[in-house]
Amino acid sequence: MSHSTVVEADDATMLLSKREFHNDKDSTYWLPKDKEEKNRLIRQHYVIKGIFEGNFLKSIGETLNFKKDISILDVGCGSGIWIMDMIKDYPNCSYHGCDIVDFTQGTISSSQFTFNYGNVAKGLPYPDNSFDFVHMRLLVLALREEEWPIAIRELLRVTKPGRMIQLLEIDHKLTGNVMVQAFLASIHAACRSRGQNACIATELKKIVSVINNAKIVQVDYIITDL
């Protein structure tokens, strides 16, 4: 017999089966925010970096000079591992992270980094045209399907004209053996119950293409085993 216990820890945290979760009623994000999750996010980062052979796509490196002091924002920054890795490679840039919880403590200690609380679907806490490079990835389990156009327009609002935004999402297609398909089917069901689209990655190009001031520069699809 298994037991699941929910405890209200504080205004920002909810305990569920000894795991810490955010308690933001405006967000549908459903993964934990504890040390175990932070370690998973760090491992995941290096897997993604290996798959894409870097922290940003080729066209971004050709457009932006990361050796200069450019301003970079990571939306939904999580553990802050992407920013920490970028700081190692490009120490002259200024870095900003935004999320519904501050999960960066103990990961980033650089004076070049500033964290702000914020929900991209409700509006980012930055003025228009603030950043040279805006990065957002793996919010498939955080945003409702109807929130994606809102979020992308908000990214565009805070990005300087002619500068770059990078979106990276996983497409949870029902492929693989029976066990993998069953696992992915459970993810699809959980997403649907929250108004999310587990295959939003395949819709991003269409969402961006109908926004007047957005230009798609590069789209990469990489197939990997689960």
Q: For 161-210, how does the pLDDT look when each residue is reduced to its tens digit (9 = 90+)?
A: 999 999 999 886 766 678 888 888 888 888 888 898 988 999 999 999 99
Q: What is the pLDDT of residues 1-38, one digit of tens each?
A: 333 333 333 455 555 556 666 666 677 776 666 788 88
**Residue 30 confidence (pLDDT):** 62
What is d(CA 83, CA 128) in angstroms, rounded to the nearest whole number? 22
Q: pTM (2 decimals)? A: 0.86
**Is the separation of the CB atoms in 45 and 85 below 8 Å?**
yes
Task: Report residue 225 CA to chain centroid gap.
Answer: 21
Q: Please give the DSSP secondary-structure letter assigned to residue 54.
A: S
Q: Which CATH number fits domain 6-209: 3.40.50.2300, 3.90.76.10, 3.40.50.920, 3.40.50.150?
A: 3.40.50.150
Instruction: Taking each helix axis as running N to C, give the angle between helix 35-52 and helix 81-89, from 0 to 180 degrees, rounded to the nearest 10.
Output: 50
| Whole-number Å distance between alpha carbons of 115 and 74 | 10
Task: State yes or no: pLDDT of 109 exceeds 80.
Answer: no
